[in-house]
Amino acid sequence: MAVRPLVFFPDPRLRRKAEAVAAFDEGLRTLVQDLHDTMKAAPGVGITAPHVGILQRVTVIQLDPASERKVYVNPEIVWFSDDLIRHTEGSVSMPGVTEEIERPARVRVRYRDVEGAGREEEAEGFMAVCLQHEIDQLDGIFWIDRLSRLKRERTVKRYEKLRRAQG
């Protein structure tokens, strides 16, 4: 299919809440394939439609090349555990910088597949972190919003310095 251009921080589209998908058609399937291709090219393990400037509630996650690609349309977290884990996070829309973030260790997510069928699944560990990260993005919450103000400011400065160095 196609690698689409990424939207980079601080683009305001990264802070807007994505709209629910209503049409489960060929256009959605094309978007999903393009998101997968774009994520692999970035490279990354997760991507949302807002990362390519499309404000729709679609995310694709593939934790490693050997695992199967997971597609979540209109996902929402319906339960999360009280126990927390810390994991290093970053974004295809803010390449080159990462920071450790604390999130619930387990979640239950309700979503639709590309055909529109309702699904629900539980995830733990890295997959739970990825789901929360990408669903945050669909809700207009960029990953650095989960950092303390000081860490967020330092992360943005590191990113800006990196961007200047790259020209």
The Cβ-side half-sphere exposure at 60, using a 13 Å CA radius, reads 26
- List the structure tokens of 56: 């729709």
Is 134 among the catalytic positions? yes
Annotated catalytic residue: which of 19, 68, 89, 134? Answer: 134
DSSP category for residue 95: T
Best CA proximity match to 128, nearest among 160, 97, 104, 163 = 104
Helix (H) or strand (E) holding 120: strand 118-124
**DSSP bridge partners of 70:** 61
List the catalytic residues.
Answer: 134
